[in-house]
Amino acid sequence: AGFASVDYNLWSDNGRVLLVLIMLVGGCAGSAAGGPKCVRWLLVIKHIGRQLTRTLHPRAVLPIRYKGQIVSDPIMRAVFTLVVLYVFGYFLVGLLLVLMGVDMVTGFAAALACLGNVGPAFGEAGPMGSFAGFSQPAKILLIISMWIGRLEIISVLALLHAHVLRNLRFRAR
């Protein structure tokens, strides 16, 4: 809603770094926030741990469990892909904003805020500011980022896949 009770731009660097880490995680499973979500990060960390163990013990059978149930490899690949796409998206949108003239901290924080749909960013786009000072192309990029983040990257990429677009038919009534 754009409401803020405190200007966290005035916080110490440690506090702002913690806030960025929370923004990177996104919300909890089922929340309205975008981003990779806590449960996906947990599965990615378990997957990385399993891969490191497999390096030492290549024949080990190491299933990944979540709430007592084994998570299948296809699901793990999908989760890992989603998290990698979000991190790549954060970097890409932040880099494009910096190339459009936004300072680095504000640009990358705005990328996190918009792609993750987690609220205000830092700097000019912080809790006591707005995105009004951004250029039109930057605003359009951030609007698209918010849309992609809210629908989740995989859904948008699936809609934009060549197979879907090739078979798209509009019916006139």
pLDDT string in tens for the chain (173-residue length): 556 778 888 888 899 889 888 888 877 777 767 778 889 999 999 999 999 999 999 999 999 999 999 999 999 999 999 999 999 999 999 999 999 999 999 999 999 989 988 877 888 888 888 889 999 999 999 999 999 988 888 888 888 888 888 887 777 76
- Distances, alpha carbon 62 to alpha carbons 9, 83, 126, in Å: 44, 21, 44
Q: What are φ and ψ of residue 136, in 5° steps?
A: -55, -45
